[in-house]
Amino acid sequence: MLSRILRSRSALRQFSRTYAARGDVSLTSLDEANVATIQKQAPNRVETWAKSQKPRREAMTGPRFEQKDLTAQPAPYAAIELIAEEPIRYISNHIAVCDGESLGYGQGHPKVFINLDKPEAVPCTYCGTRYALDSHKAIIESS
């Protein structure tokens, strides 16, 4: 009877949450290292970057992720940080055109027209490349 109950996913999740919350489960040094690794979203990003995204420590729970050495798993960099390193592209027209080809990725994305009337860097909704009007350069770089 007990084995049949423990086989169901919801019961196993509840079982693991209960005993982890009570402190009955002790962590080894390897597990403590894994917990520190799990808490980071990516090697270059600590917290989440979208409202719908769960923190990694909450998303990677349950029987599917039990006894996994996550230090051996691939950990790609978060694209949001890599895109932020790209310099702002200053142009003289009031409307920027982005098709994703300027980044050198080959396939690109659908062509987007971006209004640059406000004195701020405006990102492309597809690739995140930031554009700004050339006459607003001093205002943007001072802030």
Span 1-27, pLDDT tens digits: 444 444 444 544 554 555 454 444 444
Return the pLDDT at 51: 85
CB 114 within 8 A of CB 131: yes
Identify the helix (H) or strand (E) that includes residue 114: strand 112-115
Which domains can be identified in the chain, with CATH numbers? 2-72 (no CATH), 86-142 (2.60.260.40)
Structure tokens belonging to residue 24? 């009955």
Span 36-76, pLDDT tens digits: 545 677 777 777 878 888 887 777 777 776 666 667 777 77
